[in-house]
Structure 1
């Protein structure tokens, strides 16, 4: 479900660093460009820190496409560092992926490692997804990670 409000969130606690791994910057290959392991299913709260880091590759983040059923209720817009980011939920999108688009239309597709995954499985999935030349599907990456 989405809402029409724009929300502003404080930065995520520094005690819990962002869990993100990207493939080396090169010609894109495969289904995903890396992996993100959020701590919750609250996309609006998790997004500011992710957008800040991805700005290095994308410029200011303008849009995030996500699977509606994979996340808690999400507003249609979130303010990140003074910029409004559109959050667009889809029923047909893979629940294990988010597509993050910059203002210049460059896009990064990320495997979303389930927040509840414990032990080394999450780290294994992130390493697999961010491997140079990895072309495995998101589902195959998660199955291989355990």
Structure 2
């Protein structure tokens, strides 16, 4: 039996790499509202896309309390919570200035709703706003 890798455990859908289209680059369906538990696997899955991660921006009211810095592997990642962060999003910033903005599907969403939302958010030509 093989041990699942972080990319196997994270529920993530990304648009194909290419010209930016729309506000989000894909969607993430975390299993809980505990950012410190959820973020390590997400960052591991995103490193192939944006390189080493420096910061994660999130909306304060949507997650349990998180520290300002979180040890992930050999690094400490900045977790910056804001009241004005667009709702249901996280923004992941790499050291090399690459970034990914993800629509966050609520952990308690039904599988059917989550799959539909994630597919829509990851559609290559999707240009709608987060509210849509």
Give the alignment's TM-score, normalised by structure 1.
0.84
Coordinate RMSD, CA, aligned: 1.5
Find runs of 4+ consecutive structure 1 residues off by over 6 angstroms.
none
In 2, distance between residues paired with 1:138 and 1:121? Answer: 15
Between structures 1 and 2, the one with greater strand share? 1
Whether 1:69 and 2:71 are equivalent positions in the alignment is no
Aligned residues: 128
- SS class of match (1:124): helix
1:137 positional shift: 1.5
Gaps (5+ residues) in structure 2?
none
Quote the residue 1:53 is aligned against. Answer: 45
In 1, distance between residues paired with 2:111 and 2:96? Answer: 37
Kept after mapping to 1: 8 A contact 2:30/2:106: yes
- SS class of match (1:39): coil
Gaps (5+ residues) in structure 1?
1-12, 141-146
In 1, distance between residues paired with 2:119 and 2:130? Answer: 13
Kept after mapping to 1: 8 A contact 2:24/2:103: yes
